[in-house]
Amino acid sequence: MTMTTICFWKPYDVLTKFTDAEGRATLADYVNLPNIYASGRLDRDSEGLLLLTDDKRLSTRLTEPKFGHPRTYWVQVERVPDAAALQKLRQGVEIKGGLTRPAQARLLDSAPDLPPRPVPIRYRKNVPDCWLELTLTEGRNRQVRRMTAAVGHPTLRLVRWAIGSITLEGLEPGLWRELDAAEMKALWQSVRG
């Protein structure tokens, strides 16, 4: 039996499920494939890479914490974090639920080339912002937002760029594509745990 796995650029304000009793935007507005489900989640106010699959084994590997695999986020934050704040992110930050696993954290030299968000980011004339790249190996509820807030730099915009070696490259918000054999092999290698 052939399994299907796709990468999808979840737009801002879209729920990571296929139905919603309140009529809000869901995955069903963008993906019309049978028996395929999201492997993981992104909050409604977050954007970016979401993997969907009909392979239950792969889905388990992508969602179970013990198979921690890298997830890379581009995060626009208030103010410019100093070396101490970045080091805290790298070592682990105390948030609800305990200390986070160590993360990779770096300042991006410039804002990533992303399409504008449909709802503008809060702008404050006297408060600069910057972009960080964070790579985590766990996925707690609203973890990136909680981590940046804990070091004094609230998140303004959050885009998941990559899961393992799979990236949003070549996609636009609301679009998806099926992973090829080489990408599937690399994805499986990243979730072997």
CATH class as words, domain 5-65+166-190? alpha beta
Per-domain boundaries in the chain: 5-65+166-190, 70-163
DSSP secondary structure code for residue 153 in this structure: -
The sign of the torsion formed by the CA atoms of 110, 122, 138, 47 equals: negative
Looking at residue 42, its pLDDT comes to 92
Do the domains 5-65+166-190 and 70-163 sit in the same CATH topology, yes or no?
yes
Residue 193 is predicted with a pLDDT of 56
Selected from 3.30.450.90, 3.20.20.140, 3.40.50.970, 3.30.70.1560, the CATH number assigned to the domain covering 70-163 reads: 3.30.70.1560
Tell me what the mean pLDDT of segment 165-181 comes to: 95
Per cent of the chain over pLDDT 70 is 97
The better pLDDT of the pair 56, 125 is held by: 56
In the numeric block, which tokens belong to residue 129? 């912002």
Is the pTM higher than 0.85? The answer reads: yes
Q: Which amino acid is at 128?
A: P
Mean pLDDT confidence for 134-143: 88
Residue 127 has pLDDT above 80, yes or no: no
Q: Report pLDDT digits (tens) over 57-70.
A: 888 888 877 777 89
Contact (Cβ atoms closer than 8 angstroms) between residue 62 and residue 191: yes
Q: 188 CB contacts (<8 Å, ≥6 apart)? A: 58, 61
Q: Would you please indicate which residues are annotated as catalytic (active-site) residues?
A: 43
